[in-house]
Amino acid sequence: MKKQVILYLGVIVSALVMAILFGSCQEEEFNPSLTKKFTIKSATNGAVYSIKVGLPTHYGESAPEKYSSIYVLDGEEDFDFVAKNCQEISNRYSKANVLVISIGYGKDRSIDYTPTKVSSVTGGGPEFLHFIETQLIPQIERDFSADTARISRVILGHSYGGLFGAYALAVNNKLFGNYLLLSPSIWYDNEVSLLMEKQNRMSIKKRHQLIFLGIGELENAGRMQAPFEAFYQVLHDHYTDIHLEKNREPDLDHMGSKNPNIVKGLNYYFQNR
Amino acid sequence: MKSNNYFTLCVLLFVNSFGFAQKESPTAALQHNPVRLFTIEPSIGIHTNFGTDLLFSALVQWSPSKRFSLASHSSYNINNITQRDFNHIKTDYNYSLNQKFGIGTTRYCKRSAHSFFLMVGIKYTDYQETLQNPNLDKVSVAISSLNPDYGLMYSMKRGWKKYFFTYRMYLPLYPWPVKSTDINYTDGNMNNIALELGVGIKIK
């Protein structure tokens, strides 16, 4: 009986130690003194979005300089990682850093990031894109030293966020000039984003684009790889003024490949912008 | 958050397994039941990714002493068997081959034996998807991937005659912590926890 109790306690303590180890792997916060926070209520869908802006290290110290801006979807999860990596990578390549804009959750991400309605919790993409275009971007470019040129704006999204980036590329291409799309859910609604791109291709294919597509090699659930490849082929075959790169991250699945692809996407952007 | 829930579930399963193993005195059990030297345990199973993978596996276990065991685990997995045609995306084939070897320990009870192994091996995954949307160009992509594979295995044998029931659970750890200690990297692992049931044969 005593042995049994000791063994139970041993296992529980081991489990707690492992839980602490796992817990300690939380992402380190981006420098709070370089982070501005505010909220915006969307006039289109009524949702309140928490916005964080990560500033370059020497922001505001010298003569007014216009910075490029990266709009990060799922910002509540990815802002710190993206902001820290932008700082490191821009330093490495001796390039000017960017403003990193985190867009927090207003409505459910499955509502905001999906372009068409296939259930009660999808289809808010058009309203969300309208909010970004008419409220968020104007406010960022009014209140911060952000370059207002399309080519200086980047959108970064993963999974449904990647789908939303592909949707923005297809239907409102004048908004962003750079797309970092990671494991995009192109399969959504019978590849509707590819159909939208096809519909609008004539008007956007000659415009300059920088597009990085990333995915995990082990995303083998029967929906991710073929549409991803189809999207890449379309961009490769039809777009004339494009910086295009794709990356399949070895040994990793949908969530595991996210951070490595963010790093590779940012590297590609800073090298080729 | 999903990964943390899976992790908690796994810890609870392991704790429960340990507890179950200790319900009867191991010393008393050993007096009545000799150590099985050599067993073969073919099984079928599923992964925890909503049960869409079907596994055919075999564990060969050799226990040269009371507390020390060696194992070889082979499996052929038909992946994603229930969703081969989704939104115009056809899965042409999708399978994995795994081979692992492990060392561990076995605890003997009155009617059962419980083994815990640290397993190391390789995993080969091969699949092809084709997009066949009538409004888009047809595109196929084939991917082959060879990965290291290591993790923890729990194996339970129930019954003391020549044939016995066997249950196994394998928790893959790779790529954690080799590629990163970030919990997000274990996404694939948590979807690929193997649960297997079968009938074992005592050879010696």
CB A85 within 8 A of CB A53: no
User: With an 8 Å Cβ cutoff, are A252 and B185 in contact?
Assistant: yes
Q: How many domains does chain B have?
A: 1
Q: Which residues of B touch A118 (CB under 8 A)?
A: none
Question: A59: pLDDT confidence band, cut at 50, 70 and 90?
Answer: very high
Expressed as residue numbers, the domain containing A150 is 33-272
Count A/B contacts: CB-CB distance under 8 Å: 136
Residue B60 in tokens: 């060969």
Write the CATH number for B140. 2.40.160.20
Q: pLDDT (tens digit, 9 = 90+) per residue, B103-153?
A: 999 998 888 899 999 999 999 999 999 999 999 999 999 999 999 999 999
Other CB atoms within 10 Å distance of the CB of residue B173:
16
A149: distance to nearest CA of chain B, Å?
33
Residues 6+ apart with CB under 8 A from B167: B155, B156, B158, B195, B196, B197
Q: How many domains does chain A have?
A: 1
Percentage of residues in chain A having pLDDT higher than 90:
86
User: With an 8 Å Cβ cutoff, are A190 and B87 in contact?
Assistant: yes
Q: What is the CA radius of gyration of chain A?
A: 20
Per-residue model confidence (pLDDT) at position B19: 47
Question: A65: pLDDT confidence band, cut at 50, 70 and 90?
Answer: confident
Out of B18, B86, B188, whose CB is closest to A222? Answer: B86
Angle formed by the axes of helices A160-171 and A188-204, nearest 10°: 30
Out of B143, B174, B182, whose CB is closest to A225? Answer: B143
User: With an 8 Å Cβ cutoff, are B143 and A195 in contact?
Assistant: no
In a domain, A250, yes or no: yes
Residue A9 has pLDDT above 50, yes or no: no
Q: Residues 149..188 of B with a Cβ closer than 8 Å to A: which?
A: 174-175, 179-188
Backbone phi, psi, residue B53, to 5°: -105, 145
User: With an 8 Å Cβ cutoff, are A251 and B147 in contact?
Assistant: yes
Per-residue model confidence (pLDDT) at position B2: 45
Question: B16: pLDDT confidence band, cut at 50, 70 and 90?
Answer: very low
User: With an 8 Å Cβ cutoff, are B184 and A258 in contact?
Assistant: yes
Question: A179: pLDDT confidence band, cut at 50, 70 and 90?
Answer: very high
In a domain, A75, yes or no: yes
Residue that has been written with the tokens 């000791």 in this structure: A6
Expressed as residue numbers, the domain containing B182 is 2-202
Angle formed by the axes of helices A225-238 and A188-204, nearest 10°: 10
Going across the sheet that includes A242-249, the strands are A35-41, A48-54, A99-103, A69-72, A153-158, A178-182, A209-216, A242-249
Say if the ipTM goes beyond 0.90: no
Per-residue model confidence (pLDDT) at position A27: 62
CB B193 within 8 A of CB B154: no
| Averaged pLDDT, A194-203 | 97
In residues, how long is chain B? 204
Partner A contacted by B88 (CB < 8 A): yes
Question: B176: pLDDT confidence band, cut at 50, 70 and 90?
Answer: confident
Backbone phi, psi, residue B166, to 5°: -135, 145
In a domain, A229, yes or no: yes
Q: CA geometry: angle at B187 spanning B184 and B190, to 5°?
A: 130
Partner A contacted by B49 (CB < 8 A): yes
Average pLDDT, chain A: 92
Closest CA to B114 of B15, B10, B47: B15
| Averaged pLDDT, B39-44 | 96
CB A193 within 8 A of CB A245: no
Q: Which residues of B touch A187 (CB under 8 A)?
A: 86-87, 89
Residue B85 has pLDDT above 70, yes or no: yes
Q: pLDDT (tens digit, 9 = 90+) per residue, A126-145?
A: 999 999 999 999 999 999 99
Task: Please name the helix (run of DSSP H) or strand (run of DSSP E) that holds residue B135, with its range, or none.
Answer: none
Distance CA A60, CA A257 (A): 35
Write the CATH number for A74. 3.40.50.1820
